[in-house]
Amino acid sequence: MSGKKVTFEQQLARLEEIVAALEKGDAPLADSLALFEEGTKLIAACSKQLDQAEQQVVKLMKGADGAPVELPFETEED
């Protein structure tokens, strides 16, 4: 993407495309390796962004004494 900042959502969408292409298994080896390399870079970038977002959430959530409070995310179960 030329000069524009790629969003987390765009990175995630591209990663999904790569996974789908690799799961298909019909790409030549060189192409599969290039896709795998791109995918590992995207995973690293997405992980870094998620870690930064988590730290921001922890900073925003403070207890009565001003110390960060970590609370587990609640999940809905059927």
Angle between helices 29-60 and 8-24 (to 10 degrees): 150
The answer to the question of residue 3 being in a domain is no
Torsion sign across C-alpha atoms 27, 35, 25, 21 = negative
Q: What is the mean pLDDT of residues 23-36?
A: 94
- Taken in order 1, 43, 76, 71, the sign of the CA dihedral is negative
Q: Which two tokens stand for residue 68?
A: 């960060």
pTM for the full model?
0.65
For residues 61 and 1, the model is more confident at 61
In a domain? residue 22: yes
Residue 34 falls inside a structural domain: yes
For residue 44, the enclosing domain spans 8-60
Residue 25, in any domain of the structure: yes
Whether 66 is in a domain gets the answer: no
Per the structure, the count of domains in the chain is 1
Asked if the model's pLDDT at residue 12 lies above 50, the reply is yes
- Summarize pLDDT for 32-47 with one digit per residue, the tens: 999 999 999 999 999 9
Is 69 contained in some domain?
no
